[in-house]
Chain A
Amino acid sequence: MSVIALSPTDLGICAGLVLALAGLSHRLRLGLGRRLLVAGLRSAVQLGLLGMILRFLFTQAHPALIALLALVMLLVAGYEVVARQQRRLRGPWSFGIGTASMFLSSFTVTLLALTVIVGPDPWYTPQYLIPLLGMLLGNSMNGIAISLDQLTRAAWQQRPVIEGRLMLGQDWDQAIGELRRDALRSGLIPIINAMTTAGVVSLPGMMTGQILGGSPPMEAAKYQLMILFLIAAGTGFGAVAAVWLGSRRLFDERQRLRLDRLAPLKAK
């Protein structure tokens, strides 16, 4: 079985649907028409570019080029984590903590998957490395962004409680422990939900893609399962690291709560 290639007309029909939706949004005055078009255009340009870059990479398979692409993906994900914070840590901290946690979790898990589990030769074969890393980065980015956002918001709102605990002589770890657990729960719920409904309510994207691409359904299921487990681990460990580092940064060396280290509320 081989893939049925999509023609420009095929894609044009799909794009027409989005255009129609934008038209409807305009009629209903949802104010989303423009954003819908921009987002659609962005996805077209980004995916087109990615397709071209990957085609080039797959023929070259030069380690330096692959490393460069991985680095760009990581930095963009780090930027995205910052953009999703309502009250982010000032200075390089928000970006640094997000990026470092994603690097630690996504890159290690991808490396493990490539060397121990899938085992392509060489291990950095881009057909395997780039999609795996992309899925891990994308998901751990979500988990880390949600957790950090929840942590800093809760710290801001619950300042009197945290300081009340400090006044009684608790250390920073105890004073913010509850908030940290809440933040981690929020970050991990999406992947837990995804595993819970996988294959029953939703047909996960990767499996769909492989089946459309002609893979036997059982193989697609096994790959999907591997990915779900890796994503759960990557997201979980990444969020734990990010929340720990983030909560540490909210206190100084005297274990005082330092909300002045959070940037002012972003106008939305």
Chain B
Amino acid sequence: MGRLRLRGLGCAPLDPVELDIGPGECVTLSGPSGSGKTLLLRAIADLDPHTGEALLDESRQTDLPGPDWRRRVGLLPAESTWWGERVREHFPGAPDGLLEALGLDPGCLDWGLPRLSSGERQRLALARLLSRAPQALLLDEPTASLDADNAARVETLIAAYRNRHAAPVLWVSHDATQRARVADRRLSIRQRRLVEETP
């Protein structure tokens, strides 16, 4: 179970945000570059100083140590970063089924990082996040460097994950057709506010 609630959450380019995302609900977010989409995700993950409060079920962000909160509210950044020599070092254990679901070669865990293409990195970053079983997902353009087939795999995997774990999802996407496919509710940023997206 999980319900993500933002109570007057304020970060630089946005007015304080009120938002509820229910268990298993997928809310998409769009808006021009620089309108504050990424900064909003960062504030929810508590990576930047901000005002207001975020809650996951009854747990307040400020009641939990930062790392605990970020383990529960998983942020997938637009650009993934890697620090080890091999892919495997970035996973807590065996990522059961995740690699196959994303169309990745299970042997890629033993690959060196330089060998990965940008599309492989993006999918591996998602697998790396999901293998830690966060209770809520914040996704920053998770399919930006993927072809249509792999984008579909990502969409399917995320849909399965939020159904199985009743995880709320906030998904930043520039692709209107994707938003139409995946969203229960579509929001966009207009004049510093989150509003219902209009076609």
Residues of A within 8 A of B (CB): 160-161, 163-171, 178, 252, 254-258
Does B68 sit within 8 A of A, measured CB to CB?
yes
List B residues at the A interface (Cβ < 8 Å). Answer: 45-49, 65-68, 70-71, 74-77, 79-83, 128-129, 132
Majority SS at the chain B contact face = loop
| Sample (24) of A-B pairs whose CB atoms are under 8 Å apart | A160-B79, A163-B47, A164-B77, A164-B81, A164-B83, A166-B66, A167-B47, A167-B74, A167-B75, A167-B76, A168-B129, A168-B132, A169-B71, A169-B132, A170-B67, A171-B66, A252-B49, A254-B46, A254-B49, A254-B66, A255-B66, A256-B48, A256-B49, A258-B49
Residue among A160, A167, A169, A255 facing the most chain B CB atoms (10 A cut-off): A167
Bound complex: CA A56 to CA B146 (Å): 76
**Contact A256 B83, beta carbon cutoff 8 Å:** no
Q: Which residue of A lies closest to B46 (CB)?
A: A254
Contacts of A257 in B (CB 8 A): 47
Chain B minimum-CB-distance residue to A174: B67
CB <8 Å contact, A171 and B77: no
Told that A166-B66, A168-B74 touch, could you supply 11 new A-B pairs with CB distance under 8 A?
A163-B47, A163-B81, A165-B81, A167-B45, A167-B47, A167-B75, A167-B77, A171-B65, A255-B65, A256-B48, A256-B49
- Note all chain A residues with C-beta closer than 8 A to B46: 254, 256
Partner of A166, one of B70, B76, B80, B129: B70
Q: Which residue of A lies closest to B48 (CB)?
A: A256
Per the bound structure, the CA–CA distance linking A169 and B70 in Å amounts to 5
From B65, B66, B80, A164 is in contact (CB under 8 Å) with B80
Residue of B nearest to A165 (CB): B83
| Complex CA distance for A256 and B44, rounded to whole angstroms | 12
Q: Considering the complex, give the chain A residue whose CB is closest to the CB of B61.
A: A254
B70 with A178: CB separation less than 8 A: no
Cβ–Cβ < 8 Å partners of A166 in chain B = 47, 66-67, 70
Q: Which chain B residue has the least Cβ–Cβ distance from A173?
A: B67
CB distance from B169 to the nearest CB of A (A): 16
CA distance A209 to B172 in the complex (A): 69
- Are the C-beta atoms of A160 and B67 separated by less than 8 Å? no
A94 to B126, CA, bound (A): 38
CB-defined contacts of A164 to chain B, threshold 8 Å: 77, 80-83
* B67 touching A171, Cβ below 8 Å: yes
Residues of B within 8 A of A254 (CB): 46, 49, 65-66
Minimal Cβ-Cβ distance residue in A for B66 = A255
Instruction: Enumerate chain A residues within 8 angstroms of B48, measured Cβ to Cβ.
Output: 256
Query: Across the two chains, which residue of chain B brings its CB closest to A255?
Result: B66
Cα distance A163–B81 in the bound complex, in angstroms: 9
Least distance between A133 CB and chain B CB atoms (Å): 40
How far, in Å, is A192 (CB) from chain B's closest CB? 25
Bound-complex Cα distance A248 to B92 (A)? 25
A168-B128 contact given A163-B47, A252-B49, A254-B46, CB 8 Å threshold: yes
Q: What is the minimal beta-carbon distance from B150 to any residue of chain A, in angstroms? A: 21
Give the residues in chain A near B67, CB-CB below 8 Å: 166, 169-171, 255
A160 CB contacts on chain B under 8 angstroms? 77, 79, 81
Q: Which 9 A-B pairs have the closest CB atoms?
A: A169-B71, A164-B81, A255-B66, A254-B66, A171-B67, A161-B81, A160-B81, A167-B75, A169-B70
Closest to A159 in B: B81
Q: For B66, what are the chain A residues with a Cβ–Cβ distance below 8 Å?
A: 166, 171, 254-256
Please give, as numbers and ranges, the residues of chain A lying within 8 Å of B80 by CB-CB distance: 164
For residue B71, which residues in chain A have a CB less than 8 angstroms away from its CB? 168-169
CB-CB nearest in chain A for B90: A168
How far, in Å, is A183 (CB) from chain B's closest CB? 16
Complex contacts, A167 vs chain B, CB 8 Å: 45, 47, 70, 74-77, 129
A254 to B44 alpha-carbon distance, docked (Å)? 13
Contact of A169 among B68, B77, B83 (CB under 8 A): B68
Known: A252-B49, A255-B65. A168 touches B83 (CB 8 A): no
Residues of B within 8 A of A163 (CB): 47, 77, 81
Report the bound CA distance from A166 to B45 in whole Å: 10
Tell me, rounded to whole Å, the shortest Cβ–Cβ distance linking B83 to chain A.
Answer: 5
The closest CB in chain A to the CB of B62 belongs to A254
Cα-based distance from A227 to B128 in the complex (angstroms) = 50
Give bound CA distance, A170 to B128, whole Å: 13
